[in-house]
């Protein structure tokens, strides 16, 4: 079974700040780091670091070649990453003293992906392979349909959550990874700390999907048919939450693929993301399989 992550690659510019800048406020940062990110690339890195066979498709400019070198060093197969004459996607990330972040995206190559580029890539994948999608490229709906027609399993992380999500064929998702904001958005409810009703509403709305709800320090919840499970984080000091959800997604899928049960997989993915949060950066902070399994 092969994983195809069709998604974003970003150059992350990470500013370490005392607090996230308020509207109209100018603040200084203690440090600035340029590192590899993008939800697509991060989730591919997490799968590879967890020992899976993973292929990444996306689009970058020449300024993004260092992303490919790093991804390949983790074992990600990058032959389906296309180049264009413009810039690579960028993310301006503020990380405050508690590790919380705020992110501004510039699409770059991610936004330049074309429908016609889907077919030649998908033809390399078959029934039983899994496509993993996020919401940082414009092709997600078309990819869900095309992958589903090929008999691939469709896994969606509708992040970042915006107006485009409503137009996705969500009923085609076999697995849905959401955080509290995305879960509330999908359920059409205000964000609340009471996650149970939101999860149950999503379980009713997406009866054939495996639902995985990540809830920061509260760990993660699973619902599918009559099965419910929960995983807990491990308590480590937080340095940077960037990429924590991407780490969770990659390690949960890898744990399931390695034959672990749902509850065990939730625990292992929570452990991996707890380790990632204790270190700085997105894919650089992700643990390797030997640290988790
Ligand atoms: O999920 C974290 C990622 O979101 C960052 O790496 C940034 O590039 C944005 O895509």
Ligand 1: atom nearest CA of 89 is 8
- Each residue's pLDDT tens digit, 195-214: 888 999 999 999 999 999 99
Counting ligand 1 atoms within 8 A of each CB, the residue from 5, 7, 11, 12 with the most, and so the one to mutate, is 12
Separation of CA 90 and ligand 1 centre (Å): 9
**Minimal-distance CA residue to ligand 1 atom 10:** 38
- Each residue's pLDDT tens digit, 276-286: 999 988 899 99
Q: What is the mean pLDDT of the chain?
A: 96
CATH of 3-7+39-88+111-292, one of 3.40.190.10, 3.40.718.10, 3.30.70.141, 3.40.1190.20: 3.40.1190.20
Assign 3-class secondary structure to the chain: CCEEEECCCEEEEEEECCCCCCCCCCCCCCEEEEEEECHHHHHHHHHHHCCCCEEEEEEECHHHHHHHHHHHHHCCEEEEEEECCCCCEEEEEEECCCCCEEEEEECHHHHHCCHHHHHHHHCCCCCCCEEEECCCCCCHHHHHHHHHHCCCEEEECCCCCCHHHHHCCHHHCCEEEEEHHHHHHHHCCCCCCCHHHHHHHHHHHCCCCEEEEECHHHCEEEEECCEEEEECCCCCCCCCCCCHHHHHHHHHHHHHHCCCCHHHHHHHHHHHHHHHHCCCCCHHHCCCHHHHC
Predicted confidence (pLDDT) at residue 290 exceeds the cutoff of 80:
yes
Q: How many CB atoms lie within 10 A of CB 5?
A: 31
Predicted confidence (pLDDT) at residue 275 exceeds the cutoff of 90:
yes
State both tokens at 236: 């480590």
What's the angle, vertex CA 177, arms to CA 45 and CA 78, rounded to 5? 25
The pairs formed by 263-266 with CB atoms below 8 angstroms and a separation of 24 or more are 263/222, 263/229, 263/230, 263/231, 265/231, 266/212, 266/219, 266/220, 266/222, 266/229, 266/230, 266/231
185 lines ligand 1 (CB under 6 A): no
Counting ligand 1 atoms within 8 A of each CB, the residue from 89, 100, 282 with the most, and so the one to mutate, is 282
Confidence of residue 4 (pLDDT cuts 50, 70, 90): very high
**Minimal-distance CA residue to ligand 1 atom 8:** 38
Ligand 1: atom nearest CA of 283 is 6
Counting ligand 1 atoms within 8 A of each CB, the residue from 46, 88, 91, 135 with the most, and so the one to mutate, is 91
Domain layout of the chain by residue ranges: 3-7+39-88+111-292
- Each residue's pLDDT tens digit, 33-61: 999 999 999 999 999 999 999 999 999 99
Q: What is the mean pLDDT of residues 261-271?
A: 98
Confidence of residue 192 (pLDDT cuts 50, 70, 90): confident
- Each residue's pLDDT tens digit, 106-136: 999 999 999 999 999 999 999 999 999 999 9
Q: Are 112 and 84 in contact (CB under 8 A)?
A: yes
Give the Cα separation of 26 and 15 in Å (integer). Answer: 13
91 lines ligand 1 (CB under 6 A): yes
Residue 177 sits at φ, ψ, to 5 deg, of -105, 120
- Each residue's pLDDT tens digit, 5-28: 999 999 999 999 999 999 999 999
Separation of CA 226 and ligand 1 centre (Å): 33
Counting ligand 1 atoms within 8 A of each CB, the residue from 5, 8, 10 with the most, and so the one to mutate, is 10
């Amino acid at each position: 079974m092969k994983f195809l992550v069709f998604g974003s690659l970003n150059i992350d510019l990470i500013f370490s700040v005392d607090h996230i800048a308020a509207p109209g406020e100018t603040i200084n940062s203690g440090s600035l780091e340029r590192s590899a990110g993008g939800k697509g690339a991060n989730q591919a890195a997490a799968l590879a670091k967890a020992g899976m066979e993973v292929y990444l498709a996306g689009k970058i400019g020449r300024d993004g070649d260092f992303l490919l070198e790093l991804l390949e060093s983790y074992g990600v197969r990058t032959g389906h990453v296309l180049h264009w004459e413009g810039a690579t996607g960028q993310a301006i990330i503020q990380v405050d003293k508690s590790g919380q972040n705020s992110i501004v995206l510039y699409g770059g190559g991610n936004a330049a992906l074309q429908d016609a580029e889907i077919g030649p890539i998908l033809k390399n994948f078959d029934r039983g392979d899994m496509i993993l999608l996020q919401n940082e490229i414009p092709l997600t709906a078309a990819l869900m349909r095309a992958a589903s027609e090929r008999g691939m399993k469709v896994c969606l992380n509708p992040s970042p959550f915006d107006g485009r999500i409503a137009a996705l064929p969500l009923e085609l998702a076999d697995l849905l990874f959401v955080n509290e904001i995305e879960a509330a958005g999908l359920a059409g409810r205000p964000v609340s700390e009471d996650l149970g009703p939101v999860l149950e509403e999503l379980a009713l709305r997406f009866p054939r999907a495996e639902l995985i709800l990540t809830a920061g320090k509260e760990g993660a919840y699973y619902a599918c048919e009559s099965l419910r499970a929960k995983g807990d984080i491990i308590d480590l000091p937080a340095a940077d939450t960037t990429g924590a959800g991407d780490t969770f997604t990659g390690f949960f899928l890898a744990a399931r693929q390695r034959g672990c049960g749902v509850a065990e997989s939730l625990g292992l993915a929570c452990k991996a993301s707890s380790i990632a949060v204790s270190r700085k950066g997105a894919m650089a902070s992700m643990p390797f399989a030997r640290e988790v399994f």
